[in-house]
Amino acid sequence: MSDDNPFAALIQNNVVKSSESPSISGILEEIFAFTLDPNVGAKKHFLYLEEVSKVHDQHDLDVPVLQHALFERLFMCNGENPIIKSAKKTFRNSHSYEVKVITYLCNCYRNINEDSHLETGEKGKVKALVVQNAVTAIIQSEIYEGQQLEQQIIDILKDNDGHCVAFFKDVCKGVLDEGGEAFLKDRLSQIILVLTSEIEKSNIVTFDYGVFNVLSVFTTEEYLASIFLDVKPPKFTIGSDYANTPLGAIFNISILPKTPNAIYEHFQDPTDQASITSTEGILWTNIDKLTDRTHAFVLSLLTCSPQIKNKTLEWLGLCLKANVDRGKLWNAQSPPELNPANYTSVSDGFMINFGNVMLRLCRPFCSNFLDKKILKVDPTYCSVQDDQCSNKGVHLPGMNKETCLIPNDSEDETQLLVADKYNFVTECFYFAHKAVDLGYQVTVDKLVRLNHEVGRMERAYLDAVAQATGNNELVDNLKRRMTQQLTKYLSLKAQLSDPVLLNLLFEFTSTSTYWLCQIAINVKSNNGHTCFAPIDEIPITFPLPDEIPNTLKSIPEFIIENIVCYLVFLRRFNPKIFEEQGFEKLKPILSFILIYMGSPERMKNPHVRARLAEALESLLPHHNDEPSGFNAFGSYQREMLFTQHAHRREIVNNLLEVFVGIEMTGQSVEFEQKFNYRRPMYTVMDYLWTKEEYKTHFKDLAKEAEQNMEAVTPPLFLRFVNLLMNDAVYLLDEALANMAKLKEMQTAKQNGEWDSLPAQERTQNLGYMHHIGMIAKFDNILGRDTIKTLEKLTSEITIVFTHSTMVDRVAAMLNYFLYNLVGPKKKNFKVKDQKEYSFDPATTVLNISKIYVNLKESDAFCLAISQDGRSYSPQLFTFGEDVLVRIGGGALIGELKEVALRVAEKAQEQQASEEVIAGAPEHFMDPIMSTLMTDPVILPSSKQTVDRTTIARHLLSDQTDPFNRAPLSMDQVVPNTELAAEIRKWFEERKNK
């Protein structure tokens, strides 16, 4: 073949050459990118070490001379070496002119590992030489002054290169051997602190995810992970210092500012909707990526070794404990600039991210409650005393100080149930709930308050614009301030509305409610066990078991608050999540609400039970205040809750129980707070009344009340109606008084009476007028809702409202408000911008007129109207008819005329009856109502005699003797049969005269 092919010899020569192994000199030159041969240096762009070549008088590089050569090469890294400087200009091989010592040595280490020609023994010697020089550089770092060796180590580890990781670990072992454990820990701590500083300078958009490659290295060895978790800033005394730890610095990267008074970086143009939508998408993508990587890192720590798992949980638990001030009541109510917790605790973003990671750790047992893995959570976790935490495997100290669903009857906390040990699932569950309590819940409260503040600022801005002439500094300041607050609002909302976070929270909430339902009915644990988790599912049936589980004494109230907070947030800002998650995951939420809202034995605090009514309102399929398109996903899944849920028949009864429970707590409840609780209840009732099934439930309760009007314990529906009346009277009375005050102030301002006042006093007057306006709006809304509820109830239920214990109050209330709204005084309430104060007298007049019509068939009701000496006159209904014509209520006029006629007839009959009883002996008259008694009873404590109807009505609101405040119930009153007979005899005699 060679004879035929003239190139055969050339091919053969090449084959022979390729089969030859490179020389040791060539291998080392490739590894270290330096040479002792000037020709090789020029040809391959390797540094020529001329001095080394002269000293050893050779051009070939070998292992014996390598130590000297490498020292000379590393020495070139100091300062501006001319050889390096020249190489940078002409060499294409960057390894040749690398001036970072650790980076250069790491590259050499990689080249050694990738080389396939060096013999094993020689490779080991060369690698050891490289590692030794790196060890020397770290131990004697002054040799390479200004090299920032820590940053170089961080940079090589960021590349996620296996050779670099191996190099790092070999160097660590070398430092340990030569410098000792303490020195290694110090060096590694310095590296971690440099990394922490880099993280602290990042934000959610600029964060370098190579950081996680560095962090992952510290989870591959127990000693590395231990050192990582031990690193703390020099000052480490308060909760906010956790943000300056390596892990804390990552938690602190969010959409929100890292420190108090820092600027909000995003949504700088809060009026550009397209920009807002785009920014939200970018931020959510970044926050999910960051949280996902953080979760993976924390999980790596937890699985590194049992010792590191324990240390990681300890860090997480102590972080939560150090920041408990975030959840204190004074923290929620203080202005940000005056709130000490803002300066002593971590940021909102930190704690939300912390919770986000905890929720991801909970996913294996919380993603679907149907797998029942959540039933491994032990409810007694919060009973453990701090001094027992270590023995019990509890890493979240201080939980035994939390307020629980049922108070501990014994002051001895050791009487509470406590398990032998607590598993990881239980710890994750409570860690997550505590993080939500301190993070998500606190931030939602801030968002809601900020939402109100932005609304007030917008109104003030519009007022200022309307009054401004030309350039106005006040208008500009208000606009600038409003823009700042909108930026803050959008940032908070974006952090809380991350779609992935919302779905994680929904799964966690659904599973938590399923667990709480099982806890509420599982009494097996009362008998004493080493573990109190409700392992076996028990079917839920109503009525609930009489025996109350002792485990409820260990469950903190903040878990309930977390659930309510999240549901209310979804209802206000993202209701589509309800539909996306579906009926199956909604079912345990409604079951939970029904169990705890209507069972004071299982949840003592009436305020928390009232909050569950707000949670119930959040589950309604639709709300009247929703803007168009807000509920784009529809409401089918939530509709199923109210039409197909197995325990839906309990809704009405439990709703009325909690409505009444707020009033009958025996505690001092601020009136406004009480109505804040009741407002969502009215909304729920309004919805339920549209469903025939629930309307029937109301009627059944009313029938029960009718049959037990004078029972020892007043029937639930009777107590409910009584309180409804109290609310209506108070609210409408307050609303009218405040509207009259507003009218007076507006008139004074319009007439120029304020113009002559000093500027400060004018400002004070304006502020006071806004304050009165806000209170009036509050009263108007709730008063309108209360009257609306009364109108609906009376359209189907009349007997309770016309019973002798209620009818006088109903009639007096209707007369009083109709007179004020349609009579001569109605002009006193006519203010400018009635809609701003939600003052809608037309709707109230229509509803009041409907109530008159609904009850007109009752003789007792018509009589009570005529006997109301405070507001009734024959002209009352004439005034009402005139107003109905103007407000579109003409259809009611005919029926209202019929009411007026029946009232007039009863008035005439009563007048004749009064003539008969005129001059009745004083002891025949009721001492409270000054009316002739028909069924006198003696009060056992005060020995006073009153009419049975009078005391029955009094006891609906106050279970005490009205004369001496002694406890009293209807079963204790004694019929005064002798006096009753005497009154009847006298009446008959007078009637027959």
Co-location of 718 and 830 in the same domain = yes
Co-location of 633 and 650 in the same domain = yes
CA angle, corner 50, sides to 46 and 56, nearest 5? 115
Cβ 585 vs Cβ 507: under 8 Å: yes
HSE, side-chain direction, 13 A CA sphere, residue 367:
5
Residue length of the chain: 993
Co-location of 804 and 948 in the same domain = no
655 domain-assigned:
yes
- Measured CA to CA in angstroms, residue 590 lies from 134, 173, 973 at distances of 63, 58, 42
- Measured CA to CA in angstroms, residue 327 lies from 254, 683, 692 at distances of 20, 29, 43
| Partners of residue 404 on adjacent β-strands | 556
267 domain-assigned:
no
d(CA 347, CA 257): 8
**Under 8 Å CB-to-CB from 113, ≥6 apart: which residues?**
127, 163, 166
| Domain end marker among 871, 900, 918 | 918
d(CA 796, CA 803): 15
pLDDT at position 497: 96
| Partners of residue 974 on adjacent β-strands | 938
Co-location of 680 and 787 in the same domain = no
| Domain end marker among 651, 684, 717 | 684
**From the CB of residue 128, how many other CB atoms can be counted at a distance below 10 Å?**
12
Co-location of 778 and 637 in the same domain = no
Strand order in the sheet with 936-938: 945-947, 936-938, 974-975
d(CA 539, CA 536): 10
936 domain-assigned:
yes
Co-location of 984 and 899 in the same domain = no
pLDDT at position 6: 46
CA angle, corner 554, sides to 549 and 557, nearest 5? 105
Nearest to 238 by CA among 214, 265, 266, 260: 260
Residues of the chain where predicted confidence (pLDDT) is lower than 50: 1-3, 6-19, 665-669
pLDDT at position 603: 94
827 domain-assigned:
yes
**Under 8 Å CB-to-CB from 221, ≥6 apart: which residues?**
169
Q: Where are the alpha helices (DSSP H) in 2-100?
A: 8-19, 24-32, 38-44, 50-56, 63-75, 82-90
Give the position of tokens 């729920």.
684
d(CA 489, CA 453): 10
pLDDT single digits (tens) 419-438: 999 999 999 999 999 999 99
Co-location of 960 and 845 in the same domain = no
Number of separate domains in the chain: 3
- Measured CA to CA in angstroms, residue 252 lies from 203, 207, 909 at distances of 9, 12, 79
Co-location of 896 and 950 in the same domain = no
pLDDT at position 874: 85
| Partners of residue 937 on adjacent β-strands | 946, 975
491 domain-assigned:
no
Co-location of 899 and 953 in the same domain = no
Nearest to 513 by CA among 553, 547, 544, 555: 555
> What would the DSSP string read from start to end of 97-111?
T---HHHHHHHHHHH
- Measured CA to CA in angstroms, residue 952 lies from 719, 760, 960, 961, 979 at distances of 11, 53, 11, 11, 19
Co-location of 717 and 658 in the same domain = no
14 domain-assigned:
no
Tell me the CATH number at 948. 3.30.40.10
Q: What burial letters (b/e) apply to 420-454, b meaning 16+ CB within 10 Å?
A: eebbebbbbbbbbbbbbbbbbbbbbebbeebeeeb
Q: Is 47 helix (H, G, I), strand (E, B) or coil?
A: strand
Q: What is the pTM of this model?
A: 0.86
Co-location of 945 and 914 in the same domain = no
Tokens at residue 43, please? Answer: 């040809």
| Domain end marker among 650, 684, 718 | 684
Co-location of 827 and 880 in the same domain = yes
pLDDT at position 238: 92
**Under 8 Å CB-to-CB from 947, ≥6 apart: which residues?**
926, 929, 931, 933, 934, 935, 936, 937
82 domain-assigned:
no
**From the CB of residue 644, how many other CB atoms can be counted at a distance below 10 Å?**
10
Containing structural domain, residue 979: 924-992
938 domain-assigned:
yes
